[in-house]
Amino acid sequence: MQQTHISVDTLIEARWVFPAEPDHSTLDNHAVVIHQGKIVDVLPVSESINRYDPKQRIVLSNHALIPGLINLHTHAAMTLMRGLADDLPLMEWLKEHIWPAEQRHVNETFVYDGTRLACAEMLRGGITCFNDMYFFPEAIAQAVLSAGMRAMIGMIAIDFPTAYASDADDYLAKGMALRDTLQSEPLLSFSFAPHAPYTVSDKTFSSILTYAEQLDVPIHLHLHETEDEIRIDQEAHGFRPIERLQQLGLLSPNLIAVHMIHLNESDIKLIKRNGCNIVHCPSSNLKLASGFAPVAIYLDSGINVGLGTDSAASNNRLDMFEEMRLAALLAKAVSGKANTLPAYQALQMATINGARALGLEEITGSISPGKAADITAIDFSDLNLTPCFDPISHIVYAANREHVSHVWVNGKMLVENKQLTTLNLFELQNRTAYWQKRLAT
């Protein structure tokens, strides 16, 4: 009896596939089958030929397929401030340079242009999803949709006025109205994004917690980034910031806590007991001299840890390959153990761990049947990636974002042979030049 082939949209054949879950194995000479934006099968190439009839067959014979990388913390629009005020400590950088520049220049157009620039950089670096925190989130959302990416949009809150909102209640009202308008968009999700304990009052935190529980959305904030931040909170409230959030009821599996560098044993126990998620941003932590996060202790404690770039203003790259490599190397140096944070774990931090933190693990974060086809292809034909004894080791320790050749989000190819398909580089360069001139003067 003649076998009937199943019609599907796309079949990608690759030298290696790293699914990211349920374990960290690498599949040799496998194919990923995509139909209507979702992964329907992952199987050996030899079997796929006899089972599927794809409209498009893509053969990547010297490539690795990994889940699309998830940038778990950034401020995308600040890409327009890349290099604006370098080599300064955090509080001086914020108070004397970044916040004044934002007061003068940040508006809806700035955020739209800056986010599109960031999307272009992230897509070309294999990032398919990012978790954002910035003003004018409606402009962020429109930029993300125009690029075709996946993103969690932060409903930002801060206790001082900006061009976006007059007070905390205004921030929250505008954020929730945007969520109501766009919650049916499949590529968008939303979080509450109070900036940090030193810029948000107990009253605002309490309001956010009430809304977050009602809407079942995460809370995304900076926490324990510097020793100064901890001292400020202790002087103002009598508690370390984590203790203060515990008192307010914010510590839970819905909390996405960014940086988390300066934690004592009691802090770590609180984070573990409440199931909170941590975002490690090694490049930003190093550049701002904030310190070394004890990531090995977090992982050994069973805490979910993902990776983020922070903004291009404090990094200065939206490069998750750099974050994976630095995370692995720093963890070894800080722990004094060479087997700490092996390559496969660093790649999981950049994929499935990020999805878990966002509550999107049923949608993205691994190459698994039933999930969205958010996939990144890495070309191993470069001389710098030969010989290859372990492709996962190469991805973390040897490859860089320039080796990304193809990127799919929800089954749509957004990078083809290193070229963007949804964003115009010439247009982005013109808009960037315009804003550079404005910021420089």
How far does the chain reach from its first CA to its final CA, in angstroms?
Answer: 75
| DSSP letters spanning 342-355 | -HHHHHHHTTHHHH
Beta bridge partners of 210: none
Residue whose pair of structure tokens reads 């998830």 in the numeric block: 70
Q: Please tell me whether residue 337 adopts helix, strand or coil conformation.
A: coil
Write the pLDDT tens digit of every residue in 142-170. 999 999 999 999 999 999 999 999 999 99
Write the pLDDT tens digit of every residue in 177-188. 999 999 999 999
Return the CA Rg of the chain.
21
Cα–Cα nearest to 122, from 185, 60, 79, 67: 79
Backbone angles phi, psi at 288, to 5 degrees: -90, 5
> To 10 degrees, what angle do helices 241-248 and 202-215 make?
50
| DSSP letters spanning 202-226 | HHHHHHHHHHHHHHT--EEEEES--
Question: How many angstroms separate the CA atoms of 336 and 178, rounded?
Answer: 47
pLDDT at 90: 83
pLDDT at 48: 97
The CATH fold assigned to 6-67+367-410 is Urease, subunit C; domain 1 (2.30.40)
Residue whose pair of structure tokens reads 């890349």 in the numeric block: 82
Write the pLDDT tens digit of every residue in 333-392. 999 999 999 999 999 999 999 999 999 999 999 999 999 999 999 999 999 999 999 999
Question: How many angstroms separate the CA atoms of 77 and 83, rounded?
Answer: 14
pLDDT at 322: 98
Chain mean pLDDT for the chain: 96
Are 235 and 227 in contact, with CB atoms under 8 Å apart? Answer: no
pLDDT of residue 26 exceeding 70, the answer is: yes
The structural domains of the chain, with segments of one domain joined by +, span 6-67+367-410, 69-358
Please give the order of strands across the beta sheet that includes 404-409: 38-44, 27-35, 6-17, 52-67, 375-379, 404-409, 412-416, 419-420
- What are the distances in angstroms from CA 196 to CA 141, 159, 192, 199, 213? 22, 10, 12, 5, 19
> To 10 degrees, what angle do helices 241-248 and 227-237 make?
50
Q: What is the CATH number of domain 69-358?
A: 3.20.20.140
Question: How many angstroms separate the CA atoms of 76 and 74, rounded?
Answer: 6
Compute the average pLDDT of residues 50-70.
98
Eight-state DSSP code of residue 242: H
pLDDT of residue 13 exceeding 50, the answer is: yes
Write the pLDDT tens digit of every residue in 398-427. 999 999 999 999 999 999 999 999 999 999
Write the pLDDT tens digit of every residue in 287-336. 999 999 999 999 999 999 999 999 999 999 999 999 999 999 999 999 99
- What are the distances in angstroms from CA 384 to CA 16, 265, 403? 18, 42, 10
Write the pLDDT tens digit of every residue in 87-116. 988 889 889 999 899 999 999 999 999 999
pLDDT at 433: 97
Are 78 and 134 in contact, with CB atoms under 8 Å apart? Answer: yes
Question: How many angstroms separate the CA atoms of 321 and 338, rounded?
Answer: 20
Backbone angles phi, psi at 200, to 5 degrees: -130, 130
Eight-state DSSP code of residue 4: P
- Whether the link from the prior residue into 22 is cis, omega within 30° of 0, is yes
pLDDT of residue 1 exceeding 50, the answer is: no
Number of H helices, E strands in the chain: 17, 16
What percent of the chain is predicted at pLDDT more than 70? Answer: 99
pLDDT at 89: 86
Cα 95 off chain centre by: 25
Cβ neighbours of 367 (radius 10 Å): 27
Write the pLDDT tens digit of every residue in 205-235. 999 999 999 999 999 999 999 999 999 999 9
